[in-house]
């Protein structure tokens, strides 16, 4: 009698979900991976799309193309509605799937720390659509500034405020500074893009709080050299249309506000009925399984895992991939029925190997910490490039894609600055395109994010 | 006393408008070019974006970047509302411009021959947004087919009908055939994309009616080899959601219907109060000026110009560019005040130099007619590649862009198959994404096209 293959459902085709599928390519199991997007996104370079340095196709690939050769894996473009842990079923919009194992790899969403209403005025940066909207808004703001009637309007339209001094915020701020002062410099006649204001706000005492103070200071200094106004120690009190209000009472008029100050786990975790931390992450067991459900695992940004020093493993791509490999190995061991032990207590614990943290500052500098080694400036940027090259080779296994990306990046690829979708606004709301871009253009997207905070 | 520089307004930054600006780079005049998109589009390759062979940034560049060094030229992202020929003023959404010379280069729109209601179900291919929507719809249709419950649904979702047997239709049909039978072949598990149906409909007796019958037959045969069902001599009677009805009474159920059967001039021409042909094109004088208004010119798809044999000059890029050069030379001559003659009767007539017509059929064949020379198959495709290389070098003057494009084209660039904008559907209409893609997803765009027919 032929044994029925176990069914493993993977929710999410980000770094965690995809790495898991790749490691299970030859497993004796049937795998279904679900994502509501048709593409896998190289998130570390998302800020490049938002700042018109690279275009969306440069950093994303269709999931189907990546997994085309995985005969045991089916890809579904669908959205998760609910997970029934007791019945071992996942309800999607178009399907209901029963599973023998479930891997939760849905990633994170933008976290507004109790102010979901800010999402409308200050989009986050978690998806390609986020990045494309930010880019479109900024380019349109400069277009409108070219036609603006008053100096105050021109100032407001050419001011970009980035909230959050972590790696994402630092990278965005540096890239926006270069966009305005280098790339767009000659493109306009009535405004001077180089006079645009780029402001980086950080509530805490320094940028890149998870890196040593020396690197924070270096980053702040380099950003200053690029023309970014860095303001630390001043939390944001409120965000309204076209305006940021700081805790000290001052306001910054800005048509472009980007929120890079926090990430929470996908809202789905609240449904699971298990213990979560303040950001909604699942407090997984050492083997990465969900407490009480040894056949369910949570990895990546969805999971709260502590390293040997008791600190949370950061929500970065290498961590998600390491967790994915751990779970894949673990499941394969159980599928083979090794040694009869099957409970969660006999499984090996996940160990995070910190390969280092980096953040770029513009296109010729970075800060990096790898183990005890701290690097800044040009050498750090080369290290960043090297690490991403290795990543990309793994990403696609195609040297050619790599070269193409390098070429795009090094030549300030113009194609990344086109705006599409101007005619996509529904006829009834055709005016949306014509009002200040910080108005209605962003509003319809954010409903799903309001749940996140 | 300093003489005030004449103001030349150019409406449209397509091939005609942009070539004009380039030729006027050093003219003693002030030039303002207006387009409602921020990018210039390489239209001959638009079908590649629609069929997920290339991505949008591969074939478009920001107008500002192209004209950054033209110190006498200002670019405005704006939309034309009205032209007042008597007062020599153009009214845009955000500006009103007075002109000394006006160049109308607004191009064409999709022509539904009196059936504007078909636009909702069968989008045309004139802009990047058109191409991206077609691409998104087709890819989503295949996603839905993967999940479909019935064979009838699967068939309908994986059927692509292209209406119109001119070069655009032929190129689309061939490229869709390759997309389904080559590119997507391994990407799905429950459906076989190679079994998808691609149908090309032509009302007339043969494809590519403007080419000799031998080339038409060759194209039809090659398309057949690629698996395209070619049906000639049968006009379309009606188009409804998910269905095409032919004049012989048969219907083809298809979730993907693309209209490539006709182009009309931009609707603006109807406002001018001058004589137009049936497609709305301006019957320009031999010097390309608008009758009665020697300071106003119409070029490109907007103009009806007859060649020496009395046939209309085709609406192709080289024609638009030649017309632009003619007008630029003419205006520069008048700006210099040569020989005191200034009326339209003393101006040289435009002469069209037909450099040939080509159409690709898939990625390894084409048909081409250059003068009396007729070429088919692989040599024709190489000729097509060569001509487009020359074009692209002119397009951007960057060999690197060229190489990058070649690389993308020759390696079936995966990035071209990502779908973005799934989360862009307004919250109130969130279901739009979940119904069959031939439903609401296309509807909001088409209001502007209804005027065209």
Q: What angle do CA A421, B390, A187 make, to 5 degrees?
A: 45
The more confident residue out of B309 and B412 is B309
In three-state secondary structure terms, B451 is coil
Which chain B residues are closer than 8 Å to A94 by Cβ?
147, 434
The pLDDT tens digits of the residues spanning A290-303 come to: 999 999 999 999 99
What is the 3 state secondary structure string of B77-112?
Answer: ECCEEEEECCCCEEEECCCEEECCEEEECCCEEECC
CA contacts within 13 A on the Cβ side of A174? 25
B61, B120, B171, B295: the catalytic one is B171
Select the residue from B420, B430, B435, B436 to test the A interface by mutation, using most A Cβ atoms within 10 A: B420
The whole-number pLDDT of residue A337 equals 82
Inter-chain touch B416–A57, beta carbons under 8 Å: yes
CB A296 within 8 A of CB A290: yes
d(CA B448, nearest CA chain A) in Å:
8
Query: Higher model confidence: residue B245 or residue A442?
Result: B245
Nearest to A61 among B37, B39, B414 (CB): B414
Q: What is the ipTM of this complex?
A: 0.81
Positive/negative CA dihedral, A223, A226, A228, A230: positive
B184 neighbourhood in chain A, CB within 8 Å: 64
The total of other beta-carbon atoms located within 10 Å of residue A353's CB is: 8
What is the DSSP annotation of B369-432? EETTEEEEHHHHHHHHHHHHHHHHHHHH--HHHHHHHHHHHHTT-GGGG----GGGS-GGGGGG
Task: Please tell me the predicted confidence (pLDDT) of residue A3.
Answer: 65
Instruction: Return the number of other C-beta atoms located less than 10 Å from residue A333's C-beta.
Output: 16
Q: Over 80: is that where the pLDDT of A436 sits?
A: no
Does B56 touch chain A if contact means CB atoms closer than 8 Å?
yes
Task: Identify the closest residue of chain A to B74 by CA–CA distance.
Answer: A189
Q: Is the pLDDT of residue A396 over 70?
A: no
Of B13, B242, B257, which Cα lies nearest the Cα of B133?
A: B257
Please tell me if residue B397 touches chain A, with a CB cutoff of 8 Å. no
- Give CA separation, A153 vs A90, A159, A236, B20, in Å: 50, 10, 22, 32
Q: Nearest Cα to B141, choosing from B129, B156, B120?
A: B156
Write out residues 401-420 of B within 8 Å (CB-CB) of A.
404, 407-408, 411, 413-420
pLDDT at B442 over 80: no
The residue among A347 and A397 whose pLDDT is bigger is: A347
pLDDT tens digits for range B392-408: 655 554 566 566 667 77
Average pLDDT over chain B, rounded to whole? 87
Nearest partner of B121 among B224, B251, B228, judged by Cα: B251
Least confident of A14-18, A229-233, A383-387: A383-387
Tell me the angle at which helices A317-335 and A15-23 cross, rounded to the nearest 10 degrees.
30
pLDDT at A383: 85
Cα A170 from Cα A312, distance rounded (Å): 22
pLDDT in tens, B66-78: 999 999 999 999 9
Residue of B nearest to A429 (CA): B444
Confidence (pLDDT) at B417 = 85
Least confident of A11-15, B3-7, B275-279, B280-284: B3-7
Alpha carbon distances (Å) from B343 to A163, B100, B274, B292, B293: 61, 15, 19, 11, 10
The residue with tokens 């970047």 is B65
Average pLDDT over residues B419-443: 41
Is residue A275 within 8 angstroms of chain B, CB to CB?
A: no
B205 burial type by CB count under 10 A (0-12 exposed, 13-18 middle, 19+ buried):
exposed
Q: Do A186 and B69 touch (CB under 8 A)?
A: yes
For the segment A338-370, what is each residue's pLDDT rounded down to a tens digit? 655 556 568 999 999 888 888 999 888 999 998
- The per-residue pLDDT for A305 is 94
At A310, the pLDDT band (50, 70, 90 cuts) reads: confident
- Collect all residues of chain B within an 8 Å Cβ-Cβ radius of residue A127: 423
Preferred mutation among A46, A189, A192, A434 to probe B, highest tally of B CBs within 10 A:
A189
Helix pair B399-410, B377-396: axis angle to 10 deg: 140
Separation between Cα atoms, residue A360 and residue A380, nearest integer Å: 8
A143 vs B38, B60, B398: nearest CB:
B38
What is the tens place of the pLDDT at every residue in A213-238?
999 999 999 999 999 999 999 999 99
Which positions ≥6 away from B293 have C-beta within 8 Å? Answer: B85, B274
> Which residue from B minimizes the CA distance to A53?
B57
CA distance B202 to chain A (A): 29
Q: Chain A within 8 Å of B399 (Cβ-Cβ)?
A: no
Average pLDDT over chain A reads 87
Please say if B171 is a catalytic residue: yes
Which residues of A are identified as catalytic?
Answer: 171
- CB-based contacts of A435, cutoff 8 Å, min separation 6: A441
| From A37, A57, A400, residue closest to B415, measured CB to CB | A57
Q: Is the entire prediction scored with pTM above 0.90?
A: no
Under an 8 A CB cutoff, do B147 and A78 touch? Answer: yes
Would you say A147 and B76 are in contact if contact means Cβ atoms under 8 Å apart? yes
List chain B residues with CB under 8 Å of A416. 57
Q: Is the pLDDT of residue B61 over 50?
A: yes
Does B292 touch chain A if contact means CB atoms closer than 8 Å?
no
Using only the alpha carbons of chain A, give its radius of gyration.
23
User: Is residue A409 pLDDT above 80, yes or no?
Assistant: no
């Amino acid at each position: 009698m032929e044994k029925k293959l176990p069914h493993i459902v993977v929710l999410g085709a980000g770094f965690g979900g995809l790495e898991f599928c790749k490691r299970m390519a030859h497993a004796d199991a049937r795998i279904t991976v679900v994502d509501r997007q048709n593409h896998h996104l190289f998130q570390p370079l998302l800020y490049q799309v938002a700042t018109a340095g690279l275009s969306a196709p440069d950093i994303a690939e269709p999931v189907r193309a990546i997994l085309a050769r995985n005969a045991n894996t089916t890809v579904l473009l669908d959205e998760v509605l609910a997970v029934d842990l007791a019945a071992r079923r996942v309800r999607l919009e178009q399907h209901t799937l029963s599973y023998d194992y479930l891997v939760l790899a849905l990633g994170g969403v933008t976290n507004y720390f109790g102010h979901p209403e800010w999402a409308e005025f200050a989009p986050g940066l978690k998806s390609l659509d986020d990045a494309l909207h930010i880019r479109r808004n900024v380019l349109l703001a400069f277009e409108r500034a070219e036609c603006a009637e008053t100096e105050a309007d021109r100032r407001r339209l050419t001011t970009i405020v980035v909230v959050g001094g972590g790696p994402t915020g630092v990278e965005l701020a540096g890239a926006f500074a270069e966009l305005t002062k280098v790339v767009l410099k000659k493109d306009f006649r009535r405004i001077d893009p180089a006079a645009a204001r780029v402001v980086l706000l950080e509530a805490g005492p320094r940028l890149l709080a998870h890196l040593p103070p020396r690197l924070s200071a270096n980053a702040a200094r380099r950003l200053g050299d690029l023309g970014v106004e860095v303001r630390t120690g001043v939390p944001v009190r409120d965000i309204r249309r076209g305006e940021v209000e700081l805790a000290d009472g001052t306001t910054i008029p800005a048509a472009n506000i980007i929120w890079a100050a926090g990430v929470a786990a996908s809202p789905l975790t609240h449904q699971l009925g298990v213990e979560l931390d303040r950001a909604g992450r699942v407090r997984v067991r050492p083997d990465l399984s969900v407490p009480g459900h040894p056949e369910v695992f949570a990895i990546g940004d969805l999971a709260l895992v502590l390293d040997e020093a008791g600190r949370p493993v950061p929500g970065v791509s290498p961590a998600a991939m390491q967790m994915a490999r751990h779970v894949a190995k673990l499941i394969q061991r159980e599928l083979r029925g090794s040694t009869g032990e099957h409970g969660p207590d006999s499984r090996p614990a996940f160990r995070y190997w910190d390969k280092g943290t980096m953040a770029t500052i513009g296109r010729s500098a970075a800060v990096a910490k790898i183990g005890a080694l701290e690097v800044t400036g040009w050498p750090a940027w080369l290290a960043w490039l090297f690490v991403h090259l290795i990543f990309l080779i793994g990403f696609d296994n195609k040297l050619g894609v790599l070269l193409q990306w390098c070429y795009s990046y090094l030549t300030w690829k113009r194609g990344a600055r086109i705006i599409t979708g101007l005619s996509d606004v529904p006829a009834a709301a055709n005016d949306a395109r014509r009002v200040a871009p910080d108005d209605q253009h962003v509003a319809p997207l954010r409903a799903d994010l309001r749940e996140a905070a």
